[in-house]
Amino acid sequence: MGRYLHLQMLAARLIDRIIEFGHLVVIDARGVRHDFKRTDKPKVVVKLHDTSLHWKIALYPTMVVGDAYTNGSLTIEEGTLRDLLVIALKSMAAAERSPFNRRLNALKNWFYRREVVNKIGRAEVNVKHHYDLSAELYSLFLDPDRQYSCAYFRTPDDDLALAQLQKKQHLAAKLDLKPGQKVLDIGCGWGGLALYLAKTFGVRVTGLTLSQEQYDIAVRRSRAEGLTKLVEFKLLDYRQERGVYDRIVSVGMFEHVGEPHFREFFKQLSKLLQDDGFAVIHTIGKQCLPSPISVWIRRYIFPGAYLPTLSQLAPIFEDEDLWLTDFENLRLHYAETLKAWDVNFQNNRERVAEIYDEEFCRMWEFYLQSCEMGFRHSGLTVFQLQLAKQIDVVPMTREYMFEMEQELRDDVRSISEPTKIPAE
């Protein structure tokens, strides 16, 4: 009994130190109620159904809460998961600013570095873990074009499909494409962006992916659209590509490179790029000191993932003689994207449970909602980086981007329905 009380008090003390926002009530597995109140709202009441959580939460809260919610040993009796995550992530963000936690994060970053060593072969295993899930799963929460990256919301009322189209237009405008140019899409997903660029600009696109599911669907879409002469998809690691391109685009792939391979990525990008070409890299980043991503996300959702900071990238650009010719920070656009994905997921939850099970549903909603709150409260953001090998290959002002984006919004051809995914 004494051991139980000691561990119970340890967890309670830890939670009391962490909580900086909201009103959290924890009912432990013995029915004892613990009240942690800083502000009136949001209020969340959680119940623990396993006494081992009393000490596990004290030792490893960032891992254990996600596990417990997924397996059902932690349930929410009042409030919502989103409310719980707001309390947790806003409180943790405040704690991260302390000198002790800054030093601790630096130590964690060094320690976890070996877990994001994504050599050829290992990178493929990591990709298959997430992207080779049921093809139907992604159709249940993504837009019809299966854009699985940050959308671009011009207004708060934009629906997901429109916002994803606007993302493609936004990227295309930054690429300043001309008919006949060769474009490399590193991490092409299900082929939506590659097909859009080929149809809209008459460019020749090579798309690279490590996911068999994505590759198969992208190839079928290209054939159905009659674009096989303009678009080629390869099941290939970007480090094994040997072509040379006028433009390179990479959307939502750099997160999977791993910090030990950042320099390798940009060296290869430079080799693949014509001297008068340039690239646009769209990646999740962090507006804070370098640190590893959530261990729960890394273990269950994106193994091998690592999010860059500008302080990590800028020295590489300088060393590799790459000009950062344009930079944009999309900030809250991904939060809105994840919110839309979660709405779609919840609307199709019964079907997801039929494909997998209820535990998978809880894991997936924890993933979507915790990431959304990460973009709202924990320094996650999205960088769009335009990089060139020469100083003068990009126009001197940004007018070309604005003009092209307006033209694309006005052009019926660029806003047509995305290529439908044919049956196998």
Q: What pLDDT score was predicted for residue 112?
A: 65
Q: Which residues of 92-125 are buried (b: 16+ CB within 10 A; e: fewer)?
A: bbeebeeeebeeebeeebeebeebbebeeeebbe
Q: What pLDDT score was predicted for residue 214?
A: 95
Give 255-300 pLDDT, tens digit per residue.
Answer: 999 999 999 999 999 999 999 999 999 999 999 888 888 889 999 9
Q: What pLDDT score was predicted for residue 244?
A: 98
Q: Which residues of 148-175 are buried (b: 16+ CB within 10 A; e: fewer)?
A: bbbbbbeeeebebbbbbbbbbbbbbbbb
Do 134 and 357 form a contact (C-beta atoms < 8 A)? no
Yes or no: is domain 2-96 CATH 3.30.1050? Answer: yes
Whole-number Å distance between alpha carbons of 81 and 46:
10
| DSSP letter string, 258-273 | -GGGHHHHHHHHHHHE
- pLDDT exceeds 50 at position 309: yes
Categorize the per-residue pLDDT at 210 as very low, low, confident or very high, splitting at 50, 70 and 90.
very high
Question: Domain-by-domain residue ranges, the chain?
Answer: 2-96, 122-415
**Which range among 8-12, 53-57, 186-190, 291-295 shows the weakest confidence by mean pLDDT?**
8-12
Q: Do domains 2-96 and 122-415 have the same CATH topology?
A: no
CB burial class (10 A; 0-12, 13-18, 19+) of residue 380?
A: buried
Categorize the per-residue pLDDT at 20 as very low, low, confident or very high, splitting at 50, 70 and 90.
confident
| Percent of the chain's residues with pLDDT above 90 | 71
Residues 109, 209, 296, 114, CA torsion sign: negative
From the options 3.40.50.150, 3.40.50.970, 3.30.365.10, 3.30.390.10, give the CATH code of 122-415. 3.40.50.150
The helix/strand/coil state of 210 is: coil
Categorize the per-residue pLDDT at 326 as very low, low, confident or very high, splitting at 50, 70 and 90.
very high
What is the Cα gyration radius of the chain? 23
Give 156-206 pLDDT, tens digit per residue.
Answer: 899 999 999 999 999 999 999 999 999 999 999 999 999 999 999 999 999
Whole-number Å distance between alpha carbons of 116 and 309:
15
Lookup result for tokens 């000009």 = 323
- pLDDT exceeds 50 at position 152: yes
Q: Which residues contact 409 (CB under 8 A, 6 or more apart)?
A: 166, 169, 415
Enzyme catalytic residues: 371
